[in-house]
Amino acid sequence: MFKQLKINLPFVEALQSMPKYAKFLKDLLKRKEKIVELSNIPLTGGCSAVVLNKLPEKLTDPSTFTIPCLFRGAVTPAHALADLGASINLISFSLYERLGLGELTPTRMSLSLADRSVKYPRGIVENLLVKVDKFVFPVDFVVLDMEADERVPIILGRPFLRTTKAIIDVFDGKISLRASDEIVTFEIGRVMQHPGVGEGVIDELDEEKVEGVEEEQSDGNDELWVPETLELNEISDESNPVEIPLPLELKVLSSHLEYAFLGEKPNMPVIISSKLTEEEKVRLIEVLREHSDAIAWRLSDIKGISPTLCMHRILLEDVYKPVVQPQRRLNPNMQEVVRKEVRKLLESGLIYPISDSAWVSPTQVVPKKRGITVVLNAKNELIPSRTVTGWRMCIDYRKLNDATRKDHFPLPFIDQMLERLADQQFYCFLDGFSGNFQIPIAPEDQEKTTFTCPYGTYAYRRMPFGLCNAPATFQRCMIAIFQDMVESSMEVFMDDFSLYGSSFDQCLMNLEKMLKRCVETQLMLNWEKCHFMVTEGIVLGHKISRAGIEVDRVKIDTISQLPPPTSVKSVRSFLGHAGFYRCFIKDFSKITRPMTRLLEKDISFVFDEECLKAFEFLKEKLVSAPILVSPARVCHSSLCATPVITQSVQC
């Protein structure tokens, strides 16, 4: 090979490079260097398996490993889950009570779960003898209040598996326990997948698997199940809502409304028009009963929209600093409001305790106020005010909102929406039940909703009120659900749904389609705020009917009683209320000009005769506001000469 090797280079360069070539040839002869083209490269076993196509067969989940355990005083064994991921042995408190397993040893232990929530056990049962087949093992159990699966209420963690010298064969689906020289083996006979509530387990199910589960639940061989005397208390599952809610308070209705009942009185009430014929009422109630899963009577009825359809995310700006705020001081009355609200949210599964979070927001209690009204002050003067009807707990998310990237999804124009709603024969005015609470929060963003109060630190599973992007998320979700119905048979503004039809049959058909969509997406409606098959109603402060668009007389009557403003703040408040109905008043800006000048900078407040004249004239115009109709209807209607409908919508 070297005799045939020729090097063609200038003599001077050869002299300069010869030591390098000499070293290269020396290493080549000693096999320290190899020519790449002639080298032999060995492959690893994994690479060889890929090249030779000798990969092992891909298998499916063998399901959970369960062990039948017999406790003192029990006749029939109970299933226990063998879990290598658990560092303790766990038993539900309800099963512990039923079995009478002795006294609990107090513990300060806290359990951190996968969702970062924290649980505090009731105590520990030490040296409890558990019989497994022919063996008896001493086991320490942590007793916890938990919503356990009735069929597998026990978790055996690594301490038990080490005590029993357990060997788990995942391929063959076997688990073997040893004591001395003896061994006992359990096999997984059928597929048994029981994911816990709220774990977000998604798995493919085919007919064969479903039939296998149904056969297991219905067969007569139940020697491994918890007997009737040991059954856990029934735990309501959000996938199985209560069909018949508790009796509810029925308030007095207007003359054009009445109650109907989808179940036995006074259960499952709904509000319908009192002007319907008996035949129409029967048809309407039949549709509502068929789709009763779309109506909620209490907070626990909310199932939650599927995360695959909509999920709220809290995306932060590129530069931000997490803020942990302390709790705020609350008086005893406010603390009671917070306690009740936190308890209600916990029972509904909307929040959960959390131990640590980079974001913590404080709890605040604000007064619930009704619409503006007029009251007498200490000087016997009429002043505008809002009546406090109660207290509401809210979370101050301002720090989090400042760091949140804003979502600019648009809301519909109110004037255009009202114009499409007017001039219909029948309406269904519907409202979502605690709308925000129906949309889940992305798991990685839930800790950002953490709030602190006198009773602990909690985070939301569902979208709370107060987040800056919550309205955009909700509107986007509703448009996605009803995209083929919006502007043709219904209008959507956040959680207010206005469904309409030119006849009873048409409106009923649209209602049935809408309710079916609600059932499919698990969107729940508030029974108390839904009015079915009415001929008029209030939408966003306006009265909608066959005649057209009118002002809400309740609000106008209140505005008409207001005394003249005495400060810049009261002027701004009055103009804000009156401006909501500016489309009903011609030359609104010209009329209000004397008062708007008082809002300018560096202008002294003097409510003179000109301002008072504009104030009274504006109230008079609001009281006598006309009915607005669509321009298209004005052009094609034979009633064009009628004064009440000669003004078009010019909002």
Instruction: Give the pLDDT of residue 631.
Output: 59
Domain 549-645: homologous superfamily in CATH: Reverse transcriptase/Diguanylate cyclase domain (3.30.70.270)
Beta bridge partners of 112: 118
One-letter amino acid for residue 158 of the chain: R
| pLDDT(219) > 50 | no
Instruction: Give the pLDDT of residue 639.
Output: 38
Asked if the bond preceding 266 is cis, omega within 30° of 0, the reply is yes
End-to-end Cα separation, the chain, in angstroms: 96
Contact assessment for residue 189 and residue 224, using Cβ atoms and an 8 Å cutoff? no
The ranges assigned to domains in the chain are 66-230, 549-645
Give the relative orientation of helices 609-623 and 553-560 as an angle to the nearest 10 degrees: 160
Asked if the bond preceding 62 is cis, omega within 30° of 0, the reply is no
| pLDDT(68) > 80 | yes
Q: Which of 110-119, 170-179, 225-234, 449-458 has the highest mean pLDDT?
A: 449-458
Strands (E), 494-609: 496-501, 525-526, 531-534, 536-539, 542-545, 549-551
For the ranges 129-133, 351-355, 373-377, 627-631, the lowest mean pLDDT is seen at 373-377
Mean pLDDT of 525-547: 89
| pLDDT(638) > 50 | no
Closest CA to 202 of 90, 307, 350, 286: 307
- What confidence category does residue 238 fall into, taking pLDDT thresholds of 50, 70 and 90? very low
Sequence-separated (6 or more) residues with CB below 8 Å from residue 444:
none
Same fold? 66-230, 549-645: no
φ and ψ of 169, to 5 deg = -105, 100
Instruction: Give the pLDDT of residue 628.
Output: 64
CA distances to 52, 172, 191, 426, 575 from 206, in Å: 33, 22, 12, 44, 63
| Per-residue pLDDT tens over the stretch 471-511 | 999 999 999 999 999 988 999 998 889 999 999 999 999 99
Instruction: Give the pLDDT of residue 17.
Output: 63
DSSP-derived letter for residue 305 is: -
Closest CA to 431 of 398, 480, 476, 474: 474
- What confidence category does residue 414 fall into, taking pLDDT thresholds of 50, 70 and 90? confident
| Per-residue pLDDT tens over the stretch 364-375 | 998 876 555 555
- The span from the CA of 517 to the CA of 430, in Å, is 14
Global confidence as pTM: 0.57
For the ranges 270-274, 300-304, 455-459, 557-561, the lowest mean pLDDT is seen at 557-561
| pLDDT(55) > 70 | no
| pLDDT(206) > 50 | no
- What confidence category does residue 632 fall into, taking pLDDT thresholds of 50, 70 and 90? low
Contact assessment for residue 272 and residue 281, using Cβ atoms and an 8 Å cutoff? yes
CATH 3.40.50.620 fits 66-230, yes or no: no
| pLDDT(195) > 60 | no
Using only the alpha carbons of the chain, give its radius of gyration. 36
Strands (E), 145-283: 154-156, 167-169, 174-179, 182-187, 257-261, 269-273
Mean pLDDT of 151-169: 86
For the ranges 91-100, 195-204, 401-410, 567-576, the lowest mean pLDDT is seen at 195-204
| pLDDT(517) > 50 | yes
Instruction: Give the pLDDT of residue 265.
Output: 56
- The span from the CA of 97 to the CA of 94, in Å, is 5
What is the token pair recorded at 369? 């106020």
Instruction: Give the pLDDT of residue 635.
Output: 46
Contact assessment for residue 586 and residue 622, using Cβ atoms and an 8 Å cutoff? no
Cβ atoms within 10 Å of 441's Cβ, excluding its own: 23
For the ranges 35-44, 49-58, 120-129, the lowest mean pLDDT is seen at 35-44
Helix (H) or strand (E) holding 514: helix 504-521
